[in-house]
Structure 1
Amino acid sequence: IRDELPKIEEEEKVKMEIYKRMGIKYRSKLQEIKEEEKEIIKQVSQIDKESKDLIKKFLNLFLKGGYPLLDLENPEVTESQVIFPIKEGFRLLRATYEVLLKITWNRTELFIDSVKFEEDRWIVDTDNRIDAMKKVNAVLDILENSICDILNIDEICERIDKSKSWGLALKLLYTTKKPLTPKEIAEQLNWKPNYTTAILTDLMKKKNWPVPLIERLSKGVYQLNGHGYVIMRRYEQLYGITIKREEQYEENSQSVKRKTLLNFMKT
């Protein structure tokens, strides 16, 4: 309706003018259409709110221990995998995994790192039982922290917005939609190579981000991971995406000037 409203409004105005010339009183349908539009917007808003509430309830179930019960005592060990069966009555449907990973990682494949999720078992890519349990534990940490991030996503977006350096790097990786080398990032943001590497390293440190938003690929290039994409998609909704290369250049220049002045004062 919103897209068609200008056309309808123009049509109604023309009709009113013609009917007026003809001496006929015409009651425009425009107000009725606008009221209908308001009602539809209200209904959509209510559905959106209910949807968000359901997602929060769904995610909170996992924080309260809603994970499947793996049988850690009787795993099946093969040449390349350790398979933990899940006890009946404590299993999750495939659809549950699909929704969880879509919300937190924008992912359709049912795995995180080297752990694959199935309804009746979790499969870990290793031939060592202890290593497999450690990997399962690490994945549970990732899931829990990912869920916490989504439940507090607006606060995380605010943090990104307030951090010029981290924010610029994340926005660039989000908008380019492809892996970039540190050199490419430095050139596009007018950063020095060492500074760029430091920022990328910070973005991957767990002390800064319990679930890092970027990943380093084997070829030495960086990209947003699935979780980072979910966060930045929400960021775009809240703040929009603008990358001002000149601002960062000025910031770096001022930093260099301060360091130069300090060095001069020491001599």
Structure 2
Amino acid sequence: MNLSKTIFGTLLLILLCVNSRAQELITNESVLQMKQLEFDDFMIADKINTSDVKFDASISALSELKKAGVSSDIISLIMEKSKQNTKSRTGIYYMADDGALKMVHATVFSGTSEDAVANRLVSGFIPKMKKARLSSSQSNNIINADSPEFTFIFDPSSSQADNMQTDQGGGGYMDWWFRTATSPNEFVLVKLDVNEKRNLRELITGKSNLVSNNDGIDPKYAINFEIEEIEGNKFKVTPTDLEEGEYAFMYQGLVPNGRANQSVFDFSIR
């Protein structure tokens, strides 16, 4: 009897300590820790329902929970909470050092240019490079990892009116990209050329000559990335190892009438 009281008191103390941290972010790892401490399902569920959460509901992550003995009821709750998270603002997010998701705000092109040397060639058969410029030699989105993980959140169910919504702030950010696109496959990842002297970054957005005019990113400059579907409108994107430098995701899909694709989602790897 005394042993039972001791165990109950210990569990109650642990629960009180956990609840005292109301703003603690609960993740898959948190659930595994509570399971290892032999928390009952009602305790784990209560903690999930009264805390901020960020769950990975991918098949591989849920499999790990199941193997660890987490009950089907708790796994169902995790999946439900994960669905609620997808109602957050559409866009591209990266995992910060503190484990929180931070938005990658779009940066508007500060100007465009064409190769002046090629322009002066009489023949015109040497392609002229079209370049878009970004102000400053470094992005405001700084990531301290060579293998960053990004989360893309889309909202393809929105109406056409939603697709045409206006600037929402945050450096010219307009989320029509994520209301028109349905997959990260409609974006391309490229490394930006840095011009320290002129304090800007450049991106080749096309080339032209007398016989052709090609807009968009040349596939040979694209950087590969892996895509894992977390839910119907939420994806995990992991690029291959990135060197230190400046990078950007750029939308390559169909641009709605009335819109111009004049921004990129830029970031620095440090």
TM-score w.r.t. the length of structure 1 is 0.24
Which structure has greater strand proportion? Answer: 2
TM-score w.r.t. the length of structure 2 is 0.23
Q: Which has the larger radius of gyration?
A: 1
Which structure has greater helix proportion? Answer: 1
- Compare relative contact order (CA 8 Å, sep 6+) and give the higher one, 1 or 2: 2
